[in-house]
Amino acid sequence: MHYVSSGQGSAVVLIHGLFGNLDNLKALGQLLEQRHRVIRIDVPNHGLSEHWQQMDYPGLAAAMTALLDSLDLPSAHLVGHSMGGKIAMATALAAPERVSSLVVADIAPVAYSPRHDTVFDGLCSLPLQGHSDRRFALNHLLSAGIDEATAQFLLKNLQRTDTGFGWKMNLAGLKANYPKLIGWHNSDSSYSGPSYSGPSLFVRGGDSDYVTAAHRETILAQFPGVQAKTIEGTGHWLHAQKPAIFNRIVSEFIDKQEV
């Protein structure tokens, strides 16, 4: 798994969401690296990490603990946004002794209905060969019904080739495994499987519908020590919309676990 490491101290691993890369939480990493060793990763099928044909949360959790092993880290604080939050949660449930604390940004441990069909349609229909100007790609995604901010974010995955452009991410692999990525294996409120009782913080966007009151019991069943924060005036991309507030909340929570 591709990663970059900076700073010194107790380890914090930052995990991006679907279609992202290790730069998504870079500003948070720059704040945390003043007191911690920060490891920002490219999730498999993203960025410069390996491409997987089969991608699910048990496998991703195993990859996370393997990364900690390779870095000789007995444990680390995990911070994840969206899909990255699910990876962090799956790791905490599978190997709680490896997780010093858990921060989950705007996602719940539940199965979601599909909400990226327009994105996949736009990305998969984008003609990659024979172009040398990125503006064609932006115009294509806009005409496919994708808003400009999302389109610009998605196009960070585009890289030049000898014949035009290609994707850094494994687009076909992400589409094939999408049902597993929006799913979850422990979403019953009567769930009696493994739980993570360590310190955990769920941060949600006040305008987002990813984490709602209906998810409360399910979250508590799996993460009984949870604290919750809402950042008003933000949606699902809370870390990009109000980075100063988000970064401060996460940094202060992690620092409290060090006392």
Residues labelled as active-site residues: 82, 236
Residue type, 36: H
Residue 165 Cα distances to 52, 124, 159, 168, 250, angstroms: 21, 13, 5, 10, 37
Judged by DSSP in three states, 50 sits in coil
How many Å apart are CA 153 and CA 149, to the nearest integer? 6
CB of 74 closer than 8 Å to CB of 98: yes
Closest CA to 219 of 114, 107, 83: 107
How many residues would you count in the chain? 259
